[in-house]
Chains A and B, each alone.
Chain A
Amino acid sequence: MIEKYFCHDDFCRIIPPYMIDKLLESKDSKIRKMALLSFKIDNFIRSVRFIHKKERDLLMEELKIKPVKIVKKKIRHIYDSQNSQHLPGILVRKEGDKLSNDKEVDEAYEYLGDTYDFYNTIFKRNSIDNKGMRLDASVHYGDHYNNAFWNGWQMVFGDGDGKIFNRFTLDLDVVGHELTHGVTQHECALIYRFQSGALNESFSDIFGSMIKQFKLNQTVDQADWLIGANLLIGEKYAIRSLKSPGTAYVNHPQLGTDPQPSTMDKYKDLEIYQDNGGVHVNCGIPNHAFYVAAMELGGYAWEKVGLIWYKLLQKLDSNANFERAAKLSIEIAEEMGEQEREAVIKGWKEVMVI
């Protein structure tokens, strides 16, 4: 039973809590025992999404949960939510299947593949969890839904309203961004609030941008460093810019002007109810530090600075702040060489974190 929860095909299928509650009241002791087990596993599954991998391994040992069997190939499943809010929806394309002729389905399939290939080729990473986890994505979620998110198990993409936002599968960097949230969850599980949340967002933007650069074979000076350049409708608009935070959209009729700061003196001290303390706003600061370091070293972003940031993702604590990220990334860069160290220091200095 426990293994069933952690095999790839059944990973997301958890008994709903209200059913477990009923089963816990059963007169049959066997049913009660199974329900209790489900309850513990359910709580475990909910909690592992937000804890560091070391703690997660300890918890798994304590609950005698076997880790997933390692799969050494790319496996994608694309589901159609059929404009409902049901997840995952109906399976419409799985690994090896032909084009579905539904552009959202086919874009999600292709871009998940590109993202897997980037992590696998550059960092020898085996999927989101580094154990071959199946890549699940649902498209056509909700009614003209203006969002994409990672729910702890899978990626979810809305169609957009067609007025402000295009479909959320349109840009490779957006798909790469969402999948990277999964990678972060399985590495340092950065808490999604305030500065640690902004770092979580920043890793997703940075790797999302690098994934696009990798596919287009672009060097740092050829890249546009934009996130969601096609997602936000209008030629001159994008969602975020790593090169120049605060300029991705200016005087947009509905959204106004990109609020991202690029330096600490402009850091936006927001309340929790404002974007979890500004995670999508203040991520402009570490985003720009990466950009500056990448430009300083030249070549392909993933070769040097990308590798430093990947190692950083594996070393950070879940409640890390910008200063901690700066300190650790400089230490990692130092092991690679003086040029790398200087470039990373320049990046963090320019954004005034150090």
Chain B
Amino acid sequence: MKIKFIQSGGFAGIVKEANIDTDKIPKDTADFFQDIITNADFFNLQLKDEQPMPDVEQIYITVEQEDKSHMISFSTLNIPEKLKPLVDEIQKQMEIKKF
């Protein structure tokens, strides 16, 4: 499974990214991510289209697994409850993307 995580915006307009390939990380962490994706029914998750608010950071998560790919987005003020542990974990690994 591949997870692409982008958090962008905020007062300074910074874009932060993390790319995770569960084949290349320790098994317990890979299982942790897989459980969250499964429990959240990620590939069927449809979130309300949110109008971006000034200087509020926006999160974009794309997950690819086998032949499936799905992307969702939400603001840091409205993180879906079931995805919070995943967001918290990946936020620790984000790197600032320089334009």
Binding site for B on A (CB under 8 A): 49-50, 85, 146-152, 165, 168, 174, 177-178, 181, 184-185, 191-193, 197, 200-201, 204, 228, 232, 239, 254-257, 259, 268, 270, 273-276, 278-281
Contact A149–B11 (Cβ < 8 Å): yes
Contact B11–A259 (Cβ < 8 Å): no
In the bound assembly, the distance between CA atoms of A241 and B58 in angstroms comes to 24
- A residues less than 8 Å from B58 (CB atoms): 273, 276
Q: A150-B54, A192-B51, A280-B13 are in contact. Are A259 and B98 (CB under 8 A)?
A: yes
Contact partner, A239, options B12, B51, B56, Cβ 8 Å? B12
- B residues less than 8 Å from A273 (CB atoms): 6, 8, 58, 60, 73
Contact B14–A192 (Cβ < 8 Å): no
How many pairs, one residue from A and one from B, have CB atoms within 8 Å of each other in the complex?
A: 91
Contact B11–A168 (Cβ < 8 Å): yes
- Give 8 A-B pairs besides A149-B10, A151-B77 with Cβ atoms closer than 8 angstroms: A85-B77, A147-B10, A147-B57, A178-B54, A178-B55, A201-B54, A279-B9, A279-B13
Interface assignment of B15: CB less than 8 Å from any CB of chain A: yes
Contact A150–B8 (Cβ < 8 Å): no
Contact A197–B52 (Cβ < 8 Å): yes
- A residues less than 8 Å from B54 (CB atoms): 149-150, 178, 181, 184-185, 192, 200-201, 204
Q: List 29 A-B contacts (CB under 8 A).
A: A85-B77, A146-B10, A146-B12, A147-B10, A147-B55, A148-B55, A149-B10, A149-B53, A149-B54, A150-B54, A151-B53, A178-B55, A181-B55, A191-B51, A192-B54, A197-B52, A201-B13, A201-B54, A228-B11, A239-B11, A255-B14, A256-B98, A274-B8, A275-B9, A276-B8, A276-B9, A276-B52, A280-B11, A280-B12
- Taking residues whose C-beta sits less than 8 angstroms from the other chain, chain B's interface range is 20 to 34
Binding site for A on B (CB under 8 A): 6, 8-15, 51-58, 60, 73, 77, 96, 98-99
- B residues less than 8 Å from A268 (CB atoms): 99
Contact B10–A255 (Cβ < 8 Å): no
In the bound assembly, the distance between CA atoms of A279 and B10 in angstroms comes to 10
In the bound assembly, the distance between CA atoms of A181 and B56 in angstroms comes to 12
